[in-house]
Amino acid sequence: MTDTPRDLITVRNLSVRVRGTGRMLLRDVSLDVPQHRITGIIGPSGAGKSTLLKCINRLIDLVPSIEVTGEVRLDGHDIRGRDVDPDDLRRRIGIVFQQPVTFHGTIRRNVTFAARRIGLVDRHNEEQVLEESLRAANLWDEVKDRLTHAAHTLSVGQQQRLAIARTLAGSPDVLLMDEPTSALDAASTAIVERTILGLRKSRTIIVVTHQLQQARRLADFLACLCSQDGSGTLVESGKCETVLLAPRHAETRRLVGIAG
């Protein structure tokens, strides 16, 4: 990395609390996410990695009885600022989940309908956006002849790429990916990883993964989230090789498998 990328997203003292039980899902997490790079988030299950992602695009707001404190800034602006429209924020920060969600309808509709609703796409540029998104998701060649087929006829791997294409159609600057290949077979995983790497230069990507090898393949930077006293805390972050090969924190060491 010859250039030092600026931090597009900064997380400061983020804590997430469940109102009823008082349990802290995340405790005092601070993280910097550099622009145009892939930041990986690793850690054991239950450590709050998905929660962290949802805080960044404010999907956490949809969960009832949750209290969020701390600050998240996108490009310098507080995402909870008075003038921020959460729906617009979620368009600018795309998210892909572990289980691909396919909407009712054709492949074409799945990719473009949200962007159409929002107004980014109209009849004039729909074909173009459709093709660009599907190409970027490495799915165009496989479906270009059957855009009018029902989306649920695709294989799971293809559906996940469809989900990526759908997110890309909204032109997000940031992509959040929550275990994007956990539900896929090895071949589909490889394609999706290739897709993610291909998107790196033009977007900022955060990938949550529990597979360390995947982190090594994809991430430039790495953050390790571990569960301490039942809450997720950030134990270590830094350049990917550093974290994986020479981790400083005991938890990271345990995760990575280094003795001592």
Partner 1 sequence: MTGVVCLAVAGALLYLAAGSASALRAEGWAFFTTSRWFYRDHEFGAASMLFGSAAVAVLALILAVPVAIAAAVFMSEMCSRRLRVAMKVAVELLAGIPSVVYGLLGVLFLRDWMSRAFERFEVDALSADTLLTAGVLLAIMVLPTIATLADDALQGVPKAAREASRGLGLTRAETISAVVVPRAAPALIGAVLLGFGRAVGETIAVFLVVGRADNRALSLPALFDAGQTLTSKLGGSETNIAVGDPLHTSAMISLGMVLLLVVLAATFAADALRRRIAEVR
Partner 2 sequence: MRRRLFDLVFTVVAALAAIGAVTLFLAILAVVVYRGFDALSWRFLVEDMRAAGAEGGIVYQIAGTFILVLTATLTAVPLAAGAGIWLAMYAKEGARRSFESVLHAVNGIPSIVFGLIGFAFFFDLLQWKKSWLAGGLLLALMILPTLVVAFVEKLRSIPRETIDAAFGLGLRRGDVVRTVLLPQGAAGLVTGTLLGIARAAGETAPIMFTAAIFSGATVPRAVADSPVLALPYHIFVLAQDSFDPAMRSGMWGTAAVLVVLVTCVSALAIPLRLKIAQEAARD
Widest pairwise Cα distance in the chain: 61
Please give the size of the binding site for partner 2, defined by CB under 8 A.
Answer: 3
**103 or 140: CB nearest partner 1:** 103
State the nearest-atom distance from the C-beta of 153 to partner 1, in Å: 11
Q: Is 82 in the site for partner 2 (CB under 8 A)?
A: no
**258: how many CB neighbours lie within 10 A of its CB?**
13
φ/ψ of 89, rounded to 5, equals -55, -45
Contact residues toward partner 1 (CB under 8 A) are 57, 59, 62, 64, 87-92, 94-95, 97, 99, 101, 103-105, 113-114, 117-118, 152, 163, 166-167, 170
Of 48 and 170, nearer to partner 1 (C-beta) is 170
Q: Which does residue 167 bind out of partner 1, partner 2, none, counting CB within 5 to 8 angstroms by kind?
A: partner 1
Q: Say how far apart CA 154 and CA 152 lie, in whole Å.
A: 5
Q: Which is nearer to partner 2, 67 or 88 (CB)?
A: 88
Cβ atoms of 202 and 36 within 8 Å: the answer is yes
Shortest distance (Å) from residue 100 CB to partner 1: 9
- Tell me if 118 contacts partner 2 by CB under 8 A: yes
Alpha helices in 24-149 (DSSP H): 49-56, 86-92, 107-118, 126-136, 140-143
CB of residue 117 to partner 2, shortest distance in Å: 8
Query: From residue 241, how far is each of 181, 215, 223 by CA, in Å?
Result: 22, 10, 12
Report the C-alpha gap between 34 and 51 in whole angstroms. Answer: 20
Q: Which is nearer to partner 2, 87 or 229 (CB)?
A: 87
Q: Which is nearer to partner 1, 113 or 256 (CB)?
A: 113
Closest contact distance (angstroms) between CB of 79 and partner 2 is 18
With CB under 8 A as the contact rule, the residue among 83, 87, 145, 229 that binds partner 2 is: 87
Nearby residues of 33 by Cβ (< 8 Å), 6 or more positions away: 7, 8, 9, 10, 11, 39, 204, 206, 221
The reply on whether position 84 binds partner 2 by CB under 8 A is no
Which one, 85 or 145, has the nearer CB to partner 2? Answer: 85
Residue 180: CB minimum distance to partner 1, A: 13
Is 222 in contact with 164 (CB distance < 8 Å)? no
Pair 120, 138: CB distance under 8 Å: no
Of the pair 11, 95, the CB lying nearest partner 1 is at 95
CB of 99 to partner 1, least distance (A): 6
Nearest to 140 by CA among 127, 123, 153: 127
The answer to whether 14 touches 68, Cβ cutoff 8 Å, is yes
Residues contributing to the site for partner 2 (CB under 8 A): 87, 117-118
